[in-house]
Chains A and B, each alone.
Chain A
Amino acid sequence: MNSPSSSTNRACHPWVAQVAVVTEVRQEIESVATYRLRLRDAEIARQYRFQPGQFNMLYVPGCGESAISHSGPSENDGHDLWHTVRFVGRVTDSIAKLNVGDHLGVRGPFGTAWPLEACKQRDVVVMSGGLGLAPLRPMLYALMAKRSEFGRVVLLHGARTPETILYPEELSQWQAQGIEVELTVDRADGEWAGNVGVVPLLLDRLPDLRPAQTEVVTCGPEIMMHFSAISALKRGIPETSIWLSMERNMQCAAGLCGHCQWGPLFVCKDGPVFRYDRIRTLLKVRDL
């Protein structure tokens, strides 16, 4: 026999989901809901840990699986996992049909996390577009949980219209807990007195920015993150202080299926959170 070199350092089956029970469904905005899930196996639930920025594969038997980020507090273990889902296709539409008490499968957590350590004692600018706020919410919770360990924290969030701003009732709570919140929309209605325009504009105009002391974390459509990074660079924030979360097709989330390849990287395991300087050149190549 040949002894292939193997490093079995995790006795976990990458392809097998754990059964989870839906404990709450919260309608957010149109076609978006947040699901609270409890892993059915109490021991596995107790051991489950994740970091802000990581994601799970959510599975509906007979329909398939989707990568969905954690959107809840990272102090939670597997008894209370939160996922905010937009219903856009086969799998997510079947998630939309789930009610409290229903089962689905959960594999994870997978992927890299937001750079909480690198943010310690520094200012943090959180830039999100649309549903991109969901993967950043655990980061915001973590910043609030140890608020004194971080400098100024600013959330710059953009949505298409005022009605599609995610988590509206939480925003004022966050402000109360020391987070500056700036909102913008692509299209305003009669009521809206706030900003109109894209998210990077908010950074262009952000007063009292201390570029050398600031970390920028951003999640949203690729084009929005691209321009957010450019705005950050223009404001003098170094490449090594800009972080973004990429989205690609994922089947396994374990670096085995090949779908999420992006140049030399696997978005599922080298990402989804990347530091800008490591992917700057990749972002510029069309259809990579």
Chain B
Amino acid sequence: MTATPEQLTIAAKSLWLDKKEFQSFLNVLREGGYQIIGPRIEQGAIVYGPVDRVEDFPLGWTDEQAPGLYRLKKRDDDALFGYAVGPHSWKRFLFPPQLDMMRSKKVGAGWDMEPVPVETVKYAFLGVRACELSAIEVQDRVFLNSTFPDEYYQQRRRDSLIIAVNCTMAAATCFCTSMDSGPRCRTGYDLALTELIDGYVVEVGSVQGATLIERLALPTVAAVQEERAEVARRQAVEQIQRVLDREHVQSTLKQRLNHVHWDDVAARCLSCANCTMVCPTCFCSSVEDVTMLVDQEVVRQRRWDSCFNFDFSHVSGGPVRDQTRSRYRQWLTHKLTTWVDQFGTSGCVGCGRCITWCPVGIDLTKESVILCSEAGLDKPQDSPL
């Protein structure tokens, strides 16, 4: 989005939202007609769901993450956004796990078929991280930059407000710095917050954001607060240890389709599809018929699917990718290489979810280093992709 001169002046002035005013901020969003979706604790994890009151937030909680490990831990302050990312991403609101696409009604001996109308909802996504802003941009390319734009996605995307939060800490699984997607929020938000112990530095990214925040008549941020916010944000950068050599992997992995290490990963991978379910960019789906009222009405329902599912590549002779090896290879080469051919951007934003939520702790940053190495190559490969 190119900023208008008006937006540039808005963006130049950051504002100060006192911690005590946070509820008023939520109220302003609600009064603006938005359904607020933000972080909350459910089943031992920080997930995204409806939030209305400060108490709904994971007040004073953080997440500890490692390959195959996720744990909530108490912080020694009462931060609302003092965690990294959990198993949910915003895709579940823009591209829901289940969605009715078409309805067929029995009329006499025949059928009528019609689209299921898209209900309008205005979401305010509160707490969108930099890597998640990137993930949304990646999915925009899939669902909107298409000959057949997805209507549902389009409506939600158009009418939603994005309130980003700059990370002030990182998980051990984060590698956004390698993927050029964070931790600083740069574009794609209406408002961006940096959380400090006593309040928030608020940056304004759009006219919509400006119009809303105006109602709170917030003061301009003081230089010392700006400085504290910068220190807090730097902390996140410094904590990021994990790396992925993006350009090297992108060009090399395509030439490693017969690497022996695929068998090594396949021996550990359960083909459970967790990695694809938690990934904020994965977009695969299947469509199934759901029959209502004894055949009088049939709904075509789209559901998230995964390239790890056995039937995913089914053709008459059986699945094309009938082994875990070929399914993991499909997933990783798609994320890190062919995605670029298809959509002009990497399919990975470095959020680390697939590392954390893999039950056996398979870590794409580590696997891709081995897969890109010369060692383990049967013979020199030509470039098959």
Q: Contact residues of A with B, CB < 8 Å?
A: 1-10, 12-19, 21, 59, 61-65, 88-89, 101-103, 105, 247-249, 251-252, 254-259, 261, 263-264, 266, 269, 281-282, 284-288
Contact = CB atoms under 8 A, between A and B. Distances in A.
B115 interface: yes
Given A1-B158, A1-B161, A2-B1, A251 B110 contact: no
B184 interface: no
A56 B366 CA distance: 43
B111 A19 contact: yes
Given A5-B144, A6-B145, A258 B110 contact: no
B382 A281 contact: yes
Contact of B286 (A13, A88, A257, A286): A257
Contact of A251 (B148, B159, B286, B334): B286
B285 A2 contact: no
Contacts of B65: none
B150 to A, nearest CB: 6
Taking each of A255, A264, A284, which has the highest tally of chain B beta carbons within 10 Å of its own beta carbon? Answer: A264
B326 A288 contact: yes
B148 A14 contact: yes
B257 interface: yes
Given A15-B115, A89-B316, 18 more contacts: A1-B159, A8-B154, A14-B148, A17-B102, A61-B106, A88-B316, A105-B113, A249-B312, A249-B315, A255-B147, A256-B283, A257-B285, A259-B284, A261-B307, A261-B334, A264-B385, A282-B385, A287-B326
Contact of A288 (B1, B314, B320): B320
Contacts of B158: 1, 3-4
B147 A254 contact: yes
A266 B342 contact: yes
The 3 nearest A-B residue pairs measured at CB: A258-B284, A287-B326, A14-B148
Contacts of B316: 88-89
B90 to A, nearest CB: 12
A62 B106 CA distance: 11
B384 A105 contact: no
B334 to A, nearest CB: 7
Contacts of B320: 248-249, 287-288
Interface residues of B, number: 74
16 contacts: A1-B206, A2-B1, A2-B190, A7-B145, A15-B287, A19-B110, A251-B285, A251-B286, A254-B146, A254-B148, A258-B285, A264-B337, A281-B385, A287-B323, A288-B257, A288-B330
A13 B158 CA distance: 18
Interface of B: 1, 101-102, 104, 106, 109-115, 137, 140, 142-151, 154, 157-162, 188-190, 206, 208, 257, 283-289, 291, 295, 298, 300, 302, 305, 307, 312-316, 320-323, 325-326, 329-330, 333-334, 337-338, 341-342, 382-385
Contacts of B147: 9-10, 254-255, 269
B135 to A, nearest CB: 13
A19 B112 CA distance: 7
B214 to A, nearest CB: 15
A272 B146 CA distance: 18
Contacts of A4: 137, 140, 144, 154, 157-158
Q: Is the interface of A mostly helix, strand, loop or mixed?
A: loop
A95 B330 CA distance: 32
A1 B162 CA distance: 7
Nearest to B208: A1
B300 A15 contact: yes
Contacts of B208: 1
Nearest to A18: B113
Nearest to A92: B316
B330 A261 contact: yes
Contacts of B285: 251-252, 256-258
Contacts of A10: 147-148
A231 B99 CA distance: 47
B136 to A, nearest CB: 8
B126 to A, nearest CB: 15
A8 B384 contact: no
Contacts of A249: 312-315, 320
Contact of B284 (A1, A5, A257, A286): A257
Contacts of B382: 281
A65 B206 contact: no
Contacts of B333: 263
A133 to B, nearest CB: 17
Contact of A65 (B137, B287, B341): B287
A220 to B, nearest CB: 13
A263 B338 contact: yes
B102 A15 contact: yes
Nearest to A260: B313
Contacts of A101: 109
A199 B143 CA distance: 41
Nearest to B94: A4
B283 A62 contact: no
